[in-house]
Amino acid sequence: MEKLLSIAIPCYNSQDYMEKAITSLLDEKEDIEILLVDDGSKDNTGIIGDSYASRYPGTIISLHQENGGHGEAVNTGIRYASGKYFKVLDSDDWFDKKAFKKVIEQLKTLEENKQEVDMMVVNYVYEKPSENKQSVIRYKNVFPQNRIFTWDEIGHFMPQQNLLMHSIIYRREVLVKSQLSLPKHTFYVDNLFAFQPLPYVDTMYYLDVDLYRYFIGREGQSVQEETMLKRIDQQLLVNRLMIDTMQLSLRENKKRYAYMVKYLTMISVVSTILLVRSGTKEHLKKKDELWQYLKFEKPWLYRNVNHTLLGKAIQRKTWAGRKFLSVMYDISQKIFAFN
């Protein structure tokens, strides 16, 4: 029998915290499958995964692979998933149990009414225990509630309300149609996961629950600015792959296209700010190469990006332009939870 929801948990050396992620799901074990993907861990991650799989047969599947990075672990999860819908949960994060119960109930209701959606959107929460802080990202001012809707009905996104992996549940068939395949050994593929399938998303449902709890503050976390600079080539690879996703045919749906242009622009701004803040000749050259790639590969898209407020500001070399970039960096800190 097909499960309602498949949840992939990429795990790399996660022995100290993966059980919190797993146990946050088990109240709904009858309706879900959990895919624990051991990404070549060197600790007891794989052993813990096998133990849970033996204790919860029919719910938990323990998978092992050579180290390929977070993206390849997600690819493996998609490949082995059998549920109607699909979501990713990182091994150091967790779901709110009450919110998860409501998600399952709503997906069941859709099934009972013989309805399906391409994407369900939920809220997510930045958890920063070191400062006893929480920050909730909600979409109730963007999306209609309690009904299926299309792109034509969405409101205006604030920058911090970009759709992220944490907020998205895809119908699995959407991922198959999009031929999503995240690059190996690459950080920041979350943005590709939240971006590349969008051309295949026509119907959506927003559930106003704070489901995903995103842990912030672990040493060496990939969204810290210093870490991002060390991995800037991976950020730029994701940025270029997002550019490659954009096709002229997307302009047929104006609202979806406008959102994707804004999303791409924001990611390009983050890349540019990091390279400018570094200030080395090598990094400034990479900044120019990124924008040249966009200009020559997709000139029509380059024009659209330049027409956005961010696109205009990023090209300015004046004090006002630099100041605007600094403000955008502060916003991007909130969006991507830098530092």
pLDDT tens digit sequence for 287-319: 999 999 999 999 999 999 988 766 666 665 556
Q: How confident is the model at residue 181 (pLDDT cuts 50, 70, 90)?
A: very high
Q: Which of 215, 236, 257 is the last residue of a domain?
A: 215
pLDDT at residue 115 greater than cutoff 60: yes
pLDDT in tens, 56-113: 999 999 999 999 999 999 999 999 999 999 999 999 999 999 999 999 999 999 999 9
Which of 28, 37, 36 shows the shortest CA–CA distance to 3? 28
Same domain, yes or no, for 153 and 229?
no
Same domain, yes or no, for 251 and 140?
no
The CATH number linked to 126 is 3.90.550.10
pTM of the model: 0.92
Same domain, yes or no, for 46 and 149?
yes
Same domain, yes or no, for 115 and 91?
yes
Same domain, yes or no, for 15 and 152?
yes
The bridge status of strand 32-39 relative to strand 5-11 is: parallel
End-to-end CA distance of the chain: 44
Same domain, yes or no, for 98 and 247?
no
Q: In this structure, what are the phi and psi dihedrals at residue 259, rounded to the nearest 5 degrees?
A: -65, -45
Residue 313's domain comprises: 225-336
Give how many domains the chain has, as a whole number. Answer: 2
The bridge status of strand 5-11 relative to strand 85-88 is: parallel
Q: In which residue are the tokens 């759709």 written?
A: 163
Q: How confident is the model at residue 329 (pLDDT cuts 50, 70, 90)?
A: low
Q: Which of 215, 246, 279 is the last residue of a domain?
A: 215
- CA 95 to chain CA mean position, Å: 15
pLDDT at residue 274 greater than cutoff 70: yes
Same domain, yes or no, for 79 and 128?
yes
Same domain, yes or no, for 124 and 210?
yes
Same domain, yes or no, for 290 and 316?
yes
Same domain, yes or no, for 208 and 235?
no
52 half-sphere exposure, CB direction, 13 A CA radius: 27
Query: How high is the mean pLDDT of the chain?
Result: 91
Asked if residue 220 belongs to a domain, the reply is no
Q: Which of 161, 195, 215 is the last residue of a domain?
A: 215
Which of 52, 53, 124 shows the shortest CA–CA distance to 88? 124
